[in-house]
Amino acid sequence: MGVTFKVYNDFLIVNLKGELDHHMARMVSEKLDEYLMRQSFKKILFNFKQVNFMDSSGVGMLIGRYKALQKIGGKVGAINVGKQVARIFEISGLFNIIPCFNDEIEASEKM
Amino acid sequence: MEVLNEMTIDFWSKSQNEAFARVVVAAFASQLNPTLDELADIKTAVSEAVTNCIIHGYENETGIIRIKSILRENEIEIWVQDWGKGIEDIEKARQPLWTSKPELDRSGMGFTIMENFMDRVEVESSPGKGTIVKMYKTIKNKK
């Protein structure tokens, strides 16, 4: 379980690894806050490549980020969303506010 | 319907145990030979119920969470119980997007996800005493 960050053009890519439940969502949120205190970004891309599980706590974390970024005119996106995660996106309506792309290249063209 | 197997576990309301609880119930459920999708559904529903106990039932204090599960020929029944603060208004708590803790980045989708992923969800709760969530899912045996 973990989170690493990568800067890509004007994006901050948040690479998630593990199961995005309440336990992990809290950790990701803390680490992301720490990172954003040093350098701010208007575009954040969550990479789900190594996430095979998410529940409503992950949804809450993503909505929190979306709201925070919206206030400063920024955007949140997601890449490499797998099957189980996609179902949670669909049921919770996340697809309507957080666009999903195949990879960071597509995201940087469209976001 | 004949009961094939039953199990009960008690564990502390620590967030590390969300993953533990999901895995234990999924391992138990695998005796019914479910599909991978059915297992993912069960794991997600258990995760939601256990997270509710930790965040809402015990409000991050330490308490005991009990999971009881019963296997029947083509159905799994899962109870997730806490002895925490209970739910004042169950109907409201089950509404999509409603949360008592918006300040904590909660989505309010917990019960909605449980209802979507399981066939039936029953909630029994009394303020100050605790909550039991009972969930049922038919397993279409692959054979």
pLDDT of B81-98, one tens digit each? Answer: 999 999 999 999 999 989
The reply to whether B48 touches chain A by the CB within 8 Å rule is yes
A23, B16: Cβ pair inside 8 Å?
yes
pLDDT greater than 80 at residue B143: no
Q: Is the dihedral of CA B10, B59, B136, B110 positive or negative?
A: negative
The reply to whether A6 touches chain B by the CB within 8 Å rule is no
Q: What is the pLDDT of residue B104?
A: 85
The reply to whether A91 touches chain B by the CB within 8 Å rule is yes
Q: What is the pLDDT of residue B103?
A: 81
A84, B40: Cβ pair inside 8 Å?
yes
- Of the residues B11, B44, B65, the best mutation for testing chain A's interface (the one with the most A CB atoms within 10 Å of its CB) is B44
pLDDT in tens, B54-75: 999 999 999 999 999 999 999 9
> Identity (one letter) of the amino acid at B11?
F
The residue ranges of DSSP E strands in B13-114, in sequence order, are 64-72, 75-82
| CA within 13 Å, CB half, B55 | 24
Average pLDDT over residues B31-35: 96
Q: Which residues of A touch B118 (CB under 8 A)?
A: none
Confidence class of residue B141 from pLDDT cuts 50, 70 and 90?
A: low
Q: Is B69 helix (H, G, I), strand (E, B) or coil?
A: strand
Q: In this structure, what DSSP letter does residue A79 have?
A: E
Residues of B recognised as catalytic = 48, 52, 106
Confidence class of residue B126 from pLDDT cuts 50, 70 and 90?
A: very high
Q: Which residues of A touch B60 (CB under 8 A)?
A: none
Report the gap between the CA of A56 and the closest CA in chain B (Å).
Answer: 6
Rounded Cα distance between B141 and B97, Å, is 34
